[in-house]
Structure 1
Amino acid sequence: METALRDGFGRTHRSLRISVTDRCNLRCRYCMPAEGMRWLPREELLSDDEIVRLVGIFARHGVGEIRITGGEPLVRPGLPALIGRISAVPGVGDIAMTSNGVLLADAIDDLVANGLGRVNVSIDSLDPDRFEMITRRRDLDRALAGLAACERYPSLRPIKVNAVALRGVSEPDVLPLAGLARERPYVVRFIEVMPLDAPREWTREAVLSGEELREMIGARWPLLPMAPERPSATGTSWRFADGAGVLQFVSSVTEPFCASCDRLRLTADGQLRTCLFSTSETDLRTPLRAGADDDEIAAVARLAVSRKEAGHGMADPSWTYAGRPMSMIGG
């Protein structure tokens, strides 16, 4: 392995989240407007060859964990084959994907056959009407079918369910979603809503905090804290006291985990982001297409990582986010 990617605060970066598209088949209220999104032109998206080459460069510098994201990654044609190529890159030891599940039932066999090792499925409500209200699509049955299809593969377990919590909307869903972790081979992850929506309607008041969620669930099923999955875990883990399952709480707003962050992000158009909430990006696509060699591209990435901020700064009440929305960054 060549020189590891370390920032100025001593954090070594081992995880890369790759957005393969900015497009999505849902229109979640905390992410996109109902209509009017302007998609990236096809020629601006990284090709499969470009993605695989960049993965190889990062893998040679110690990045062995890859997560495929979007938009909705399954709207990109040929995704299983791309995952197969990534899985063959020396140094890559783990490939995960985050999906809304709508297209997953028909794709999971090919995805697993090509090396997919873990999956997170985003489902914010088990109520069809509330699911439609949040996503602006009536696709709960398809999302649940995709989630269930993953159960055919023990290698994917524990399957993770991502649920964004919105104050004034999500309260009726908290216990039903938590109950999934008691009944199925799922780890349910409650995620605080973040200021990454395209309409720029996020407010701190909309955040239903991890602490509040634990209190709601604990009143029904007592919870006990667990050791983190790994030092750089994005969420805290809790188990039901009666041993019936595990929950996680990703509390980026109220309980940030910046000090142990080891993640980088590559957008669908080839921009490297060292933090989800960065307002700056480092262009890797331009030198890639201009003929730069691997060492030159690695040097650009290494400089960007060295300048990574200590944290996102949301603890400051005056903090605002002016960067690209989540769908253009990668979930």
Structure 2
Amino acid sequence: MPRDTFGADYPFLPSSERLPFAQMLKLARAFALLGVEKIRITGGEPLLRRGLESLIEQLAKLTTISGTAMELALTTNGSLLAAKARSLRDAGLGRVTVSLDAVDYAVFRQMSDIDIPVSRILNGIETARAVGLDPIKVNTVVERGVNDSQILPLVRLFKGTGVAVRFIEYMDVGGAAEWSNAKVITAREIRDVVESEFPLIPLAATEQRGTAVNYRHADGEGDVGFIASVSQPFCGSCSRARISADGWLYSCLFAKEGTDLTPWLTDAASVEQLAVAIRSQWVQRDDRYSELRSTQRKRGSGRVYPTVRMSLVGG
């Protein structure tokens, strides 16, 4: 979250307006009724939320409509992961994804705008592996001319460790006002860079999960994924709903509007009524921002319309 935007005077959401854990749990139960099988805890930095382990412990008791345990995942910048990895695992967290855009500190600092040593992030990843949070994924957003030099160092670092690196095309999200297509390195270009040193074999269709197209090192020592969210958008197959910290439902990462669910989060409304409210919004969604991006941008420069910040709803 860039300091020139989120400075000391930025009007952050007061804690009194954030959903309490009881309401988050109610939301999770409603989504379980609707067939959701995976919950990801994300946002700006979820490990800053006090008592997060308590929420995870309660979420871990949920079951899907098929009777299996709900899959619980978390995305973090990794700065607090070493201190919390064991308690998160003990609470019931299943897997973790760490955002890491560079191994070189100067490049990392330029991309993240935070004064945290890369070694702390790497220590967090290693600690998470040691306590059994598996599989671990590292997400790397690649911006041309900024951190494209870090593609091979990241692959070298995690090859053979059990940590899968996923490279993501630079998207115009989270208030990226200076975004331009010229800064995008496509997933195909990134894969060409990786394969200049490491031969890759595509995984079988049955092994592909989520939004990434995944490959395995030819020698079997790990996986590498590529998310082509700009060059090959996947709006038609997207099934991700996002709930903000203040209880709004967003059906797209690029949504300009959301649905306030707080009226159904009171004790007066049942979980079933909340599920109906969510479903009524979901079935009428028509989000296609990524597919229409090129057409929309011909109407003018910069962002076509304001979108919800990624720091509020996660990736």
Please confirm whether the aligned pair reaches a TM-score higher than 0.5, indicating the same fold: yes
The answer for the alignment partner of 1:329 in structure 2 is: 313
Amino acid at match of 1:329: V
Shift of 1:240: 1.7
Question: Aligned AA for 1:151?
Answer: R
- Inter-CA distance 69–147: structure 2 relative to 1 (3 Å threshold): same
Equivalent position to 1:146, from 101, 114, 124: 124
Aligned residue number for residue 264 of structure 1: 241
Whether the aligned pair in 1 keeps the contact of 2:187 and 2:227 (CA below 8 Å) is yes
More contact order relative to length (CA 8 Å, sep ≥ 6): 1
- Supply the AA of the counterpart residue of 1:194: M
Deviation >4 Å, runs of 4+: 228-232
Residues 33 and 199, structure 1, Cα contact 8 Å, conserved in 2: no
Aligned match of 2:220: 243
User: Quick check: 1:286 aligned with 2:263?
Assistant: yes
Please state if 1:109 is matched with 2:86. Answer: yes
- What residue in structure 1 maps to residue 19 of structure 2? 46
Does 2:203 align with 1:226? Answer: yes
Q: Which moved more, 1:169-178 or 1:193-202?
A: 193-202
Per-residue deviation, residues 204-234 of structure 1 (Å, max 9, x unmatched): 2211110110011111112222124667621
* CA deviation vs aligned residue, 1:96-132 (integer Å, no higher than 9, x gap): 0000000000001110001000100111000011111
CA–CA distance in 2 between the matches of 1:219 and 1:258? 30
CA, structure 1 residues 315+215, in 2 after alignment: closer, same or farther (shift >3 Å)?
farther
**1:70–1:310 CA distance, 2 compared to 1 (3 A):** closer
Corresponding letter in the other structure for 2:288: G
CA distance in 1, matches of 2:209, 2:232: 14
Q: Which runs of 5+ in 2 are unaligned?
A: 297-303
Q: Identity across aligned pairs (percent)?
A: 36
Answer yes or no: is the 8 Å Cα contact 1:181–1:246 preserved in 2: no
Aligned to 1:33: 5
Task: Note the alpha carbon deviations across 1:4-29, whole angstroms, 9 max, x for none.
Answer: xxxxxxxxxxxxxxxxxxxxxxx358
> How many angstroms apart in 2 are the aligned matches of 1:165 and 1:28?
17
Whichever residue aligns with residue 127 of structure 2, its letter is: A
Alpha-carbon contact 2:138-2:165 (below 8 Å) kept: yes
Q: What amino acid is the match of 1:196? A: V
Cα-Cα RMSD: 2.0
Gaps of 5+ in 1: 1-26
Q: Which residue of 2 aligns with 1:298?
A: 275
Give matches, 1:194-205, under 5 Å: 194-198=171-175, 200-205=177-182
Alpha carbons of structure 1 residues 316 and 199: separation in structure 2 relative to 1, 3 Å:
closer
| TM-score, with structure 2 as normaliser | 0.89
Higher helix share: 2
1: CA distance, partners of 2:281 / 2:154: 39
User: Which residue identity is paired with 1:251?
Assistant: A
Q: Write the letter of the residue equivalent to 1:63.
A: V
Instruction: Tell me the equivalent position of 2:299.
Output: none
2:300 is matched with none
Q: In the aligned structure 2, how far is the partner of 1:259 from the partner of 1:199?
A: 24
Q: For residues 227 and 113 of structure 2, what CA distance do their matches in structure 1 show?
A: 24
